[in-house]
Structure formats: structure tokens, C-alpha cells
Structure 1
Amino acid sequence: MQTSLNHYSQNNEIHKDIPGRKEIIGYGLGDFGYVLIWTLVASFLTYFYTDVAGIAAGAVGTLMLFVRLWDGVSDIGMGILVDRTNSKHGKARPYLIWMPIPLAITTVFLFTVPDVGMTGKITYAAITYSLFILLYTAVSIPFKTLLGMMTQEQHTRSMIGIVGAFFIQSSALLVNMITEPMASGIGGQLGWVMTGTLFGVLAVVTLYITFRTTKERVGFVPTAKQEEKVKLSSGVKALFKNKYWMIITLFCISYYTLLGFVGAELYFAKYILGNASYFSIISLVKAVPGILAIFFMAPIVKKIGKRNMVLIGILSIILSTFIKYLDPTSLNYFLIGSAFNGFGKGIFGAMLYALINDTVEYGEWKSKVRTGGLVNSAASFGMKVGTGLGTAIVGWLLAFGGYVGNLSQQSDTALQMILYLNIHIPFLIAIIMFLLMWLYKLDKIYPQIVEELQRRKNE
């Protein structure tokens, strides 16, 4: 990886003043920070609501979808706000010092559900989860937009994504390994509150480091042609002329629907494999291949491109479902399948945001309107809808199967739903992801697009 980080050339305009190693690592630490909170909520909140707070599974599923749809709307608003922000710190960076502390506080509120009856619990969960989502959006959209503002150089973006993926995988591993043992060890809601507090503090610190170490280079200093702010109608019109943004957004919906099923693995460990603590082992087995892949990914990406690398990751996800299907009740088969699953997701973590930000250049080339914040927020809308759909499906299918939180033995239909959520449905989603990524052809024409954009700016 060290050699790859030093590949930079000074032969043309886009190679000038590109991020160095320290800045790339500083951005990666931000990945580590906000993913701590995201993984805690994505992996454990559904379980916390059903088996600790005692909220009905069907109500939890509906709540998750409703709040994530609201989240998608807030994403668009945040993207517009980032595009229109002009502070001494830039467009995206200021939000990394303004918003992490409120986000950390709200994360703790999520795991402090009062015992005020079912209606009261659902109301409290809806309010706190909606507030959490709003604040998370205020951090994640600027953070993702910042990647596109750090550099236009294609391979450098890939490298930032690869280094970020290392921190993402490490962050997710940390959360999935220690959350359940730590929360259970302390006991009750207090265990979850203390766990949320720990991750919230770490997120605040790492995001501040990102703010201090990064620099906005692309689209920050306006030219005479760029001084007038882009109207919302023009930005939205330009967005829907961007076919690669539409493809990547649909891909985000599919992939994040798949990620929304992560919480179902805890139910699988507890009720199919017979021990909830297996979830930590599964998380470790998933994370290690993804982390290892990062160390040899850079030269392969440079040779075959981001899109083809992602196709390899999708094939790995498909293979993982076949392996788990061979013997769904075997821990060994599930762990082997999880290893292939983790390898594929490690690739996605390294490539996805670079793919999204490449569509910013395509959109500017196509419509002569640059809307980095709107592109990232609209793609993030797809992510939030996907995650909401995934977590909602978990709750709905559990309820359909007659699942009752914290029973020692679930019904046969409930167990069947848990199997579907971990094997059958992920297979179908992976097929959809493959078809979408097959249509993504931007890698081949991206260098010519950037050259044309540079000529326009110099005219």
C-alpha cells in the first residue's frame, strides 16, 4: 500500500497539490469514526428494540422504514446545503466540527428507551431515531462530499477509498466484536448506553482529526463562471441527465438493502446456531478477508478499474450464499460463507464512494453544472432507503413468522424467516447488484472527461 500511495505524477493539472499520505490517513480516520456509530445502529438497534426494550418486531420494521424514508429526504436537503456553504473552512469540512458532538449525544438517547408502555416506547423510539438520522446525515453527507473535493485524480480517489475501507472494516469489526459482550456484561439498558457513549466519543475525536488534516481542492475557489450559485431546479435537472449517477444510486439501494440484513445474523446466531455469542465470531470472520483484500487491491484496481473490482466482490457475495445454503445449521459452513461475504463487502467499502464521486465529473461534463453535494446526497438517499427497506424487511418477516422477542424457542415459521433473511434474499439482491454494475461503464471514459473539464476551465 505504501508504494501505491506514492504513485503520483506531476504531469498535468489534476496532479498538482494532491493529497499526501497523512491527509489520506486523516480522511480514513473519519471513516473509522462515523462507521462506529453507523455499525452500532445498523447491526444492533433492531435487536435492542425487540429483545431489550421489548418493542414488537412488526412495529420496529415499520419504524425503520418510515424513519429511513425521512432520512432520504433530509439527505437531499443536506446536499443542497453543502453545495451552498462557503465558509473559511470550505464547503464540507465545517460540518465535521459542528455536528459530531450532537450526533454522539443522540446515539446515547437511542439506547435509553423508558418503560412507558408499548405506545410510549414506539413514540420515543420514533422521535430519537428520527433525530439521530437527521444528525447522522449532517455528518455523513459532508464527509462523503469531501472525498470528491480532495482530488479529481481517478486513482488517488481509489486509494483514498481503499485506505478508508481499511478503517471502515476495522471500525465495523470493533463494534461487532465487542458490543454484544460489553452490553451483556454490564447488563440491561445501561450496558447499551455505556457502549453507545464509548463509540460516540471515539467518533467525535476521529472526525475532528479528519477536519484538521484534510483540504478541499476541487470546486472550493469559484471561477468567474462558477460564482453564481446553482439553482436547485438546475441541479436536479442535471442530476437526472447523469445516467451513471442513476445506476450507482440504484446500486446503493440494492447494496444497502443487503446491509440492512446484518442485524438478522444476530437472530441467526441465537436461534439457528444456538448461541448469540457466535455473532462476534461471525463478525470477525467477515472482517478479516475484507481487511486483507485491501492490501493487494490497489494494483488490481489500477489495472482492471473500480467497476470490475466491484463485480468480483458481487460474485463473492453470491458464492457466500451458496456455501451457507449447503448446510444452514452448520456453524462451519456459515463461517466459510461469511468469509466470502466479508471479502465482497470489503471491496464495496473501498470502491463505492469513489464510484459515486466519479459521477460528479460526468455530470459536470454532461450538463456543465457541478453539484457534488447533491450527487452524494442523492446517492445517500438511495443508501438510506435501502437500509430502511432492509431493516424493515427483517422486522416484517420476523413478525410474519410469529417471532416473539427473547423467547428461548421460536416457531418453525419464525426460524424459516430467519433463514430467508440470511441466505435466500441476499442471493437475489446480489444478482440485482451484478446486473446494475454491469451497466456502469464510466471507468473507461473518465480520464477523457477530466481532460475536457480542465480545458473548459482554462478557456
Structure 2
Amino acid sequence: MNSPQAPAPADRTASPAKPSLGRIALFATGDFACNLYWQSLSFFLLFFYTDALRLSPAVAGIVLLIGSVWDGIADLLVGIHAERSRRDYRWFLSAGAMPLGLGFVLLYVAPPLDGAVLMVTVLAMHLLFRALYAFVNIPYSAMTARITGDSGQRALISGLRMLFGTAAALVVALGTERIAAIRPGGLGGTEGYLTAALLFGLVGAALLVVVGRGSPAAYGQGQARVSILAAMRVLARNRAFVTLNLAMAAVGMAATALTRSVLYYFSYVVGDSAGGPAALAMMGFAGALFVPMWMALGVRTGMRGLWFASAVLGTAAVGAFAGAGGSDAWTAQLFLVVMQAVLVGFNLVFWAMLPDTVEYGEHRAGVRVEALGFGVSALVQKFALGLAAALMGLIYQLVGYHPGAVQTAETVTGIRWVMLAMPALCFGASAVVMWANPLRRGAHAKIVADLASRAKEK
């Protein structure tokens, strides 16, 4: 078995040419395509399962939990394959784009079945989509660590990806609701979801092909292969990687509880079913506006400091909204806009810092682990998302939620507190974990300089 210290690190004696802004922007548009799919899952799939397919909340939550666990496993397997493969990461995007678009459409097909057969069929389509998404998304995410080694450019890439991702969220929230409005049944039917999925699947697949063929070339791929077990040991000992992912897992649970509560909250607490999609759209629009603000603040505070600022703002927003005690649409929309700003801050930090953990691990162990690290990261995040969705389904079941019916006071209270208590607890936990992260301001630049010095000495 290969020792983690055996292979020589990738050559960094010469600084790679920085990709142009245009090539970086083209690469970042891949997040628009991916988020057409992912935001649809986040915003609408649970509601589609319960209120369109009429699955019970507990069953729908179990489907999402199993899907998330499988998604994480698929992410890990794809990460292992991409790490060992001689193929450029861009190949995965071009090859997987069309199958992924088709798999997304199948998510919103309503089979003429019921009972256990319906659940198994829905689960199978869900697992298929998750596997196809992993095949494309893991290599795409790992490309950030290869197309540039400059921490500033990585932060810029993360910011642009966030902008395109929030733009996709806005398109999904507005587009799905408007398409559903002109189809039979609206958001309570099935035809609107399928029509929207067909449109989003086509656009997303075409864009991923373009990104796969036109993104910047990678650098630093010359390292000898190491065993997967050795690479996993490197990741387990990478404190920057471990703490960043645990902190983000907590935030992922908070985001799941928040975004998947919106349609239920507006339908059954506010009493305005049309307000839910409008609030989701407003969150997407606000997210795009907050990205530049967070990027500018991150330059002054460092990415780790930006995490703590997001945690404080998010906890304060939950406290203020809970204290207000109102259930009107305007107050809820304002709260959700602030919370979206908080989530944008967390996500910007995570995607800016995750590539930097590659060099941190290489500096500590002498081994560069890229795609496998992104696969393990996705495994952790997907498990957290699935756990949060399952908890939501269980809580909704326990408080007596019935789709399409007038809810009891206990049920309304349960829906409200799922959207408030889970995010507040998770934000606090994430801040505690992030305190142990060693990538303080300026640390990555010193690591990169030391790696270059070591390479020259060899």
C-alpha cells in the first residue's frame, strides 16, 4: 500500500497562468445549470411529493433521506473515480449533461400508481437523478482547485458561482410558479411541475455541454497516484477540511429547514399559497444582491471572519422574527430575505475555502487530494440535507400535518418552529466548529508559498 508521503507533490516551481475573467465567468455559469436542478429540489420537491403526489410527509421525508444518503455515496464514488481517472474533469460535464437533464425530468413524472409501488417508483427516479447529478457536479466543483491556485481568484470564482446559482434560484422560483399557474391543478397538480422540468432540463443540459467544452484548462495534474485509503487518511487528518465540512453540514441542515418550510409556512401559517413562490423568488433576487457585499466584506475580514458574521446575523434574525410573533406575509418575506443573505455568506465562505483545504492537506501530508475531497465533502453535506428533510417529515407527521387540509393550531405552531428553531441551533453549532478551523486570514497564501519553495528545493 502506498504511503501518503511517497509521491512527489504536483509541480509548482512555475506559477500557472491565471485564467481570464471571461473564461472564469464561463466556468461559473455551470452553477446556473446545476442550480436549475438543485434549487427545484430544494424549493418544490418535498411539496410536490406531499401535495401533488399525495405521499404522506413521513414517506416523502424518507424518500429524501434515502436519496440524500445515496447521493452522498454516489458523490464519494464519483470523487474516487475522478481522482484516479486520467480524464480531464471537463469530460465529465460534457458526457453527463444530457443524461442529467433527462433524469431531472423523470423526477417530476407522476406515475399512475399508488401505495408502496408509487413510493418505490418515486424513490428509484430520485436515486437515478442523484447519481447523474453526482457524476457531473463533483468534477465540476473540483475544477476550482485545478484551474487556479490563487486564493483571490478562487474567491472570485466562488462569488460568480454564487451569483449564477442565485440567478437560477430566481428563475426556478418564478418559472415553476408561473408555469404551474397555467397548467391544471397549479402547484397542487402535477402537469406544471413536469412542464417546468422539461424546460429547465433542456437549458441546463445545453449549458453544461458548453461549460465542459469551454472552461479553462487545469494545472498541476502531474502527481503520482496514491491509494484511496491513503488519500482518505490525508483527508481525515486535514483539520481545515474536517472542520469546514462539519460547520457547513450544520448550515445545510438550517438551509433545508428554512427553504423547504417556505411553501408550507405561506400556505398554512400566513394563509397565502401564492406568497410562497413569490417569497422564494424574492430570496433568490436578494441572494444575488448580497453576493458582492459579502465578497467585499470578506476581503476585509477574511473568509473565516465572514462565517462568524453570517452566524451572528442569522441568529439575530431568528430571534427578532420569533419575538415579533407575527404571521403576516410582509414580515415573513423580510425575514426570509435576511436569512437568504445569511445563507449566501455561509456558502460563499464554504466554496472559497474548500479548494484551499487541498493545499492545506498537501502541505501537511505531502499528498494532493482533489476530487476525492470534493466527493467526501458532498457525502457529508448530502447526509446532513437528507437528515434535515427526514426530521422535517417526521415533525410534520407528529404535529398532525395533512396536505391540502385546514391545519390545527398545533400543526401551525410546528410548521412555524421548524423554520425558526432548527436554523438558530444549527447556526450556533456551525460557529463553534468553525472556531477550530486553522485557515485564518493569510494562512493559505503562506502555505502556497511554502509549497512552491519546497518544490524548488527538490
TM-score of the superposition, structure 2-length normalised?
0.92
Residue type of the partner of 1:118? G
- 1:32 match: 32
Contact 2:245-2:380 at 8 Å conserved across structures: yes
- 1:17 match: 17
Q: Please give the root-mean-square deviation of Cα atoms over the aligned residues, in Å.
A: 1.7
Contact 2:16-2:219 at 8 Å conserved across structures: no
Q: Does 2:392 correspond to 1:394?
A: yes
- 1:447 match: 445
> Which whole-Å CA distance do the structure 2 matches of 1:41 and 1:287 have between them?
15
Match of 1:234 among 230, 234, 241: 230
Q: Does 2:102 correspond to 1:101?
A: no
The SS at the match of 1:192 is helix
- 1:333 match: 331
- TM-superposed CA distance for 1:284, in Å, is 3.3
Deviation readout 1:28-49 (Å, 9 max, x if unpaired): 2101110110000121111001
> Which whole-Å CA distance do the structure 2 matches of 1:14 and 1:349 have between them?
31
Deviation readout 1:137-194 (Å, 9 max, x if unpaired): 1111111101111111111100111111111111111111221231242123221111
Structure 1 pair 328–374 and aligned structure 2 pair: CA distance change class (3 A) = farther
- 2:279 match: 282
> Which whole-Å CA distance do the structure 2 matches of 1:116 and 1:289 have between them?
40
Match of 1:322 among 319, 323, 327: 319
- TM-superposed CA distance for 1:245, in Å, is 0.9
Deviation readout 1:336-360 (Å, 9 max, x if unpaired): 2112111112223323212111111
Contact 2:33-2:204 at 8 Å conserved across structures: yes
Deviation readout 1:404-447 (Å, 9 max, x if unpaired): 1121x012222122011111221111111221222223133211
> Which whole-Å CA distance do the structure 2 matches of 1:106 and 1:436 have between them?
36
Deviation readout 1:377-404 (Å, 9 max, x if unpaired): 1111111011111211221111111111
> Which whole-Å CA distance do the structure 2 matches of 1:14 and 1:282 have between them?
49
User: 206-215 vs 257-266, which deviates more?
Assistant: 206-215
> Which whole-Å CA distance do the structure 2 matches of 1:85 and 1:269 have between them?
47
- 2:203 match: 202
Contact 1:248-1:379 at 8 Å conserved across structures: no
Alignment of 1:25-64 (within 5 A): 25-64=25-64
Identity of aligned residues (%): 22
The SS at the match of 1:159 is helix
Contact 1:51-1:406 at 8 Å conserved across structures: yes
Q: Does 2:455 correspond to 1:457?
A: yes
Match of 1:111 among 108, 113, 123: 108
> Which whole-Å CA distance do the structure 1 matches of 2:144 and 2:218 have between them?
10
Structure 1 pair 294–67 and aligned structure 2 pair: CA distance change class (3 A) = closer
Contact 2:255-2:423 at 8 Å conserved across structures: no
> Which whole-Å CA distance do the structure 2 matches of 1:115 and 1:289 have between them?
39
User: 380-389 vs 255-264, which deviates more?
Assistant: 255-264
- TM-superposed CA distance for 1:15, in Å, is 5.3
> Which whole-Å CA distance do the structure 2 matches of 1:368 and 1:360 have between them?
11
> Which whole-Å CA distance do the structure 2 matches of 1:66 and 1:454 have between them?
44
Deviation readout 1:191-210 (Å, 9 max, x if unpaired): 11111111111111222222
- 1:406 match: 404
Q: Does 2:264 correspond to 1:263?
A: no
Match of 2:175 among 178, 183, 196: 178
- TM-superposed CA distance for 1:65, in Å, is 1.1
- 1:215 match: 216
Contact 1:316-1:343 at 8 Å conserved across structures: no
Structure 1 pair 314–177 and aligned structure 2 pair: CA distance change class (3 A) = farther
Structure 2 unmatched runs, 5+: 1-11
TM-score of the superposition, structure 1-length normalised?
0.92
Structure 1 pair 295–252 and aligned structure 2 pair: CA distance change class (3 A) = closer
- 1:138 match: 135
Contact 2:279-2:336 at 8 Å conserved across structures: yes
User: 115-124 vs 292-301, which deviates more?
Assistant: 292-301
Structure 1 pair 15–166 and aligned structure 2 pair: CA distance change class (3 A) = farther
- 2:371 match: 373
- 1:6 match: none
Structure 1 unmatched runs, 5+: 1-11
- TM-superposed CA distance for 1:120, in Å, is 1.2
Deviation readout 1:274-312 (Å, 9 max, x if unpaired): 011111231233233322222344443222211112222
Q: Does 2:240 correspond to 1:244?
A: yes
> Which whole-Å CA distance do the structure 1 matches of 2:428 and 2:109 have between them?
39
Match of 2:149 among 144, 152, 159: 152
The SS at the match of 1:329 is coil
- 2:9 match: none
Contact 2:94-2:213 at 8 Å conserved across structures: no
Structure 1 pair 16–208 and aligned structure 2 pair: CA distance change class (3 A) = same
> Which whole-Å CA distance do the structure 2 matches of 1:14 and 1:179 have between them?
49
Q: Does 2:127 correspond to 1:169?
A: no
User: 436-445 vs 361-370, which deviates more?
Assistant: 436-445
Structure 1 pair 355–68 and aligned structure 2 pair: CA distance change class (3 A) = same
Residue type of the partner of 1:39? Q
Residue type of the partner of 1:203? G
Contact 2:143-2:218 at 8 Å conserved across structures: no
- TM-superposed CA distance for 1:254, in Å, is 0.9
- 1:8 match: none
> Which whole-Å CA distance do the structure 2 matches of 1:152 and 1:419 have between them?
44
Residue type of the partner of 2:135? A
Structure 1 pair 268–388 and aligned structure 2 pair: CA distance change class (3 A) = same
> Which whole-Å CA distance do the structure 2 matches of 1:288 and 1:316 have between them?
19
Structure 1 pair 79–313 and aligned structure 2 pair: CA distance change class (3 A) = same
> Which whole-Å CA distance do the structure 2 matches of 1:293 and 1:442 have between them?
24
Residue type of the partner of 1:86? R
> Which whole-Å CA distance do the structure 1 matches of 2:359 and 2:109 have between them?
44
Residue type of the partner of 1:32? F
Deviation readout 1:243-287 (Å, 9 max, x if unpaired): 111111112211111222211110001000101111123123323
Q: Does 2:344 correspond to 1:346?
A: yes
> Which whole-Å CA distance do the structure 1 matches of 2:227 and 2:160 have between them?
35
- TM-superposed CA distance for 1:233, in Å, is 1.1
